[in-house]
């Protein structure tokens, strides 16, 4: 082979290797813009049907069920509240739970599904929040909650301050 043929052959070989490496690395990267909306909606609707719930849906996509009307104050999105809760996935696996005496927090310090959802209850009220991932821990999740997860919470609003 002459000089130009050898140079062209080596250049093509180099480009092929680069293309293969690029293909491998790009296929290993996560899709950072995964949209779980459709999947979450289907999962929540199926859960509601399987458990015979009479759920309402808010404009944000949060579903909620009031099983016991409270008679006390109703919080707003900036209220301090005390809530007894159990959090679990649609398969029933519990990921978090408070004590019977509940946990106190400001509604600006929690996931947006709670910031919105707790405001549908009155003090003494009970129910269920069905939270799509976009109102929970999103596509990233956290150490106990995988990204894209629908979260179910049994809620008892013990106090509004």
pLDDT tens, 26-78?
444 444 567 899 999 999 999 999 999 999 999 999 999 999 999 999 999 99
Alpha helices in the chain (DSSP H): 3-28, 37-50, 112-117
Answer whether 0.85 is exceeded by the pTM. Answer: no
CA distance 90 to 42: 11
CA distance 4 to 72: 86
CA-CA-CA-CA torsion sign (87, 88, 90, 92): negative
Residue 19 has pLDDT above 60, yes or no: no
Q: Which residues of 65-98 are buried (b: 16+ CB within 10 A; e: fewer)?
A: bbeeebeeeebeeebebbbbbebebbeeeeeeeb
In terms of Cα–Cα distance, which of 30, 62, 54 is closest to 150?
A: 62
Per the structure block, which two tokens stand in for 48?
């509601």
- For residue range 125-140, list pLDDT tens digits in order: 999 999 999 999 999 9
């Amino acid at each position: 082979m002459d000089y130009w043929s050898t140079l062209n052959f080596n250049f093509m070989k180099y480009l092929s290797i680069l293309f293969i490496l690029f293909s491998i690395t790009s296929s290993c990267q996560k899709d950072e813009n995964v949209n779980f909306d459709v999947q979450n909606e289907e999962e929540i609707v199926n859960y509601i049907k399987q458990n015979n719930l009479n759920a309402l849906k808010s404009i944000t996509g949060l579903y909620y069920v009031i099983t016991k009307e409270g008679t006390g104050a109703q919080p707003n999105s900036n209220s301090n509240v005390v809530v007894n809760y159990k959090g679990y996935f649609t398969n029933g696996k519990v990921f978090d739970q408070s004590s019977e005496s509940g946990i106190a927090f400001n509604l600006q310090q929690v996931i947006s599904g709670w910031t919105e959802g707790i405001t549908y209850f009155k003090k003494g009220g009970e129910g269920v929040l069905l939270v799509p991932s976009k109102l929970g821990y999103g596509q990233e999740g956290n150490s106990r909650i995988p990204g894209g997860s629908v979260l179910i919470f049994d809620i008892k609003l013990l106090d509004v301050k």
